[in-house]
Amino acid sequence: MGKDWDRVSTYPDHGVSDRLEALVAGGELKPDAAQKAIALRFDRLLAEVHAQRPARKSSALGWLFASRKPATASAPRGLYIHGGVGRGKTMLMDMFFELAPVRRKRRAHFHEFMADVHERIHKHRQALKAGETRQADPVPPVAASLVEEARLLCFDEFSVTDIADAMILSRLFGELFARGCILVATSNVEPDDLYRDGLNRGLFLPFVSLLKQHVEIVALDSLTDYRMEKDAGLPVFRHPLGPEADMAMDAAWMRATAGRPAGPDTISFRGRSIPVPMAAGRAARFSFADLCEKPLGAADYLAILSRYDTLFLDRIPPLGADKRNETKRFINLVDTIYDQRARLFASAAAGPEALLVTRRGTEGFEFDRTVSRLMEIRSTEYLADHRARYDVPTTDR
């Protein structure tokens, strides 16, 4: 394996459980037995990753033979942690990621990662068309490039809603795991419920079996949603719909744009144009129909947020059984906004917890996360994160 792992030279003095205990001792967190159990599992994985350090070169010949061992021979199993929203899954994974003694590591939202994968596949196909490569199958070289950049992949809020993602996951991760990749992920659902009601789900199921081979499945059973305790009720989610909500959105827009001239814009992305109805500075304003009733995905939302860090979303309707596709897009949109720490101002038919009129299948699980994230987006802590990420002054724009 040799240089492939490229680890840092020292193992951290403290593990995830030590950090968790320190936060509890300092009064920043409440004692939680379920979180403690997960922290100990993370500590075990830290130890296994550390133990995987390449042996020292005792001779040139010995080093040569050692480097020929299959990458998966000693790759430790990763972790897949599932449980309700706001239970501390992301916090614990972030602690692990920081402590993991691996230089080449990547922490990303799953939708962001898959957008990157599809972009790499697109570029490979363009290279094939131009005669720059003879490799017809783009998955092996894409997987090789991903592993070269990061042997440890950490995904926050692992979910599969896009059929293009679902159809490629088994082959992609088969290649990644074969190259010694370690996967750590958090999710609201256990693996058997991933892509539960998706089209052609039978083609996705081999990925579930593959996942179970290469990660340990663990439930985080904490009963407290800590995000709900953070909600400061900032007036950024207006409901119900009507003249009062429209006026409030207009006033917030004027404040956010500081009176700058506003006008339409266009974002060019993968040979297409994404229209922006209204934009000023780093703020953009859309209707629900603009972003969720058109065939847009997480990659499109990322493209929008690469230009704007504040989004206004007007007139979110009740999300009933007749709006299943719109609901999926709305879930992806909120996930992307949250992961990018962008600001969201929205008007809606009801509060976040009452927007989903019909609960069915995967959307019900996924929307629980959406509700929690919409709550947290309103919190003062989230606003502070936004300002720090985008270097926004502490006074409102």
- Stretch (H or E) spanning 219: strand 215-219
Amino acid (1-letter code) at residue 393: P
Domain ranges of the chain: 2-219, 226-390
Rounded CA-CA distance 334/41 in Å is 30
- Work out the average pLDDT over 160-180: 92
- Stretch (H or E) spanning 273: strand 272-280
DSSP-assigned beta bridge partners for residue 345 = 312
C-beta of residue 353 within 8 angstroms of C-beta of residue 369: no
Q: Which residues contact 55 (CB under 8 A, 6 or more apart)?
A: 66
* CA distances (Å), origin 296, targets 163, 165, 208, 302: 13, 14, 26, 11
Q: What is the mean pLDDT of the chain?
A: 84
Rounded CA-CA distance 39/67 in Å is 33
Q: Do domains 2-219 and 226-390 have the same CATH topology?
A: yes
The residue assigned the tokens 């783009």 is 138
Q: How far is CA 343 from the centre of its chain?
A: 17
Amino acid (1-letter code) at residue 361: G
Q: What single-letter DSSP state applies at residue 3?
A: G
For the chain, percent of residues with pLDDT exceeding 90? 54
C-beta of residue 238 within 8 angstroms of C-beta of residue 222: no
Give the sign of the dihedral formed by CA 238, CA 240, CA 245, CA 246: positive
User: Which pair of structure tokens corresponds to residue 314?
Assistant: 């007007």
DSSP-assigned beta bridge partners for residue 333 = none
Homologous superfamily of the 2-219 domain (CATH)? P-loop containing nucleotide triphosphate hydrolases (3.40.50.300)
Work out whether strand 152-156 and strand 182-187 pair parallel, antiparallel, or are unpaired: parallel
pLDDT in tens, 54-103: 544 444 444 344 444 344 446 899 999 998 777 888 889 999 999 998 88
pLDDT at 156 over 90: no
Rounded CA-CA distance 333/322 in Å is 19
Amino acid (1-letter code) at residue 121: I
pLDDT-derived band at 110, boundaries 50, 70, 90: confident
pLDDT in tens, 248-301: 899 889 888 876 789 999 998 888 899 999 999 899 999 999 999 999 999 999
pLDDT in tens, 204-251: 999 999 999 999 999 987 666 565 555 444 568 899 999 999 998 998
Structure confidence at residue 69 (pLDDT): 39
Comparing CA positions, the residue from 105, 83, 88 lying closest to residue 17 is 88
Rounded CA-CA distance 330/320 in Å is 13
Helix, strand or coil, per DSSP, at residue 116:
helix
Q: What single-letter DSSP state applies at residue 53?
A: P
Rounded CA-CA distance 204/196 in Å is 10
C-beta of residue 285 within 8 angstroms of C-beta of residue 278: yes
Rounded CA-CA distance 93/97 in Å is 6
For the chain, how long is the longest CA-to-CA vector? Answer: 78
pLDDT in tens, 15-43: 999 999 988 888 877 888 999 999 999 99
The residue assigned the tokens 């994985």 is 45
| Domain 226-390: top CATH class | alpha beta
pLDDT at 175 over 50: yes
- Work out the average pLDDT over 129-141: 93
